[in-house]
Amino acid sequence: MSLYPGGACMSDSVNDRIRTLVCDQLGVADADLTGDANILEDLGADSLDVVELVMAIEEAFEIEIADEEAENLKTLGDVERFVSERVAA
């Protein structure tokens, strides 16, 4: 996958881009990424990791995620659904 300035990708799905960001930000293997993987408990993120991940997603998809919205994103599936809805809107 190639990320270009502004986070634009060619021919990759939203979920693929999110999973790449999660792997890069949290240093986890793609095999560990399931829709029900809890970002804090299963993927080992701490609060700073979560902030950095949210910022990376905002930049990559050119969206804004309010703090209240970010608090509700507990699993990878939550993140994928949220971003997919925002990008499609």
pTM assigned to the model = 0.83
Q: Is 46 a catalytic residue?
A: yes
pLDDT of residue 30: 92
Half-sphere exposure of 19 (CA within 13 A, CB side): 16
CB-based contacts of 20: which residues, under 8 Å, 6+ apart? 1, 3, 12
pLDDT of residue 7: 41
User: Domain-by-domain residue ranges, the chain?
Assistant: 5-88
pLDDT of residue 10: 36
Q: What are the per-10-residue average pLDDT scores of the chain (89 residues)?
A: 40 86 96 95 96 97 96 96 91
Helix (H) or strand (E) holding 82: helix 76-88
Q: Please give the CATH number for the structural domain made up of 5-88.
A: 1.10.1200.10
Catalytic choice (46, 49, 67, 78):
46
pLDDT of residue 12: 62
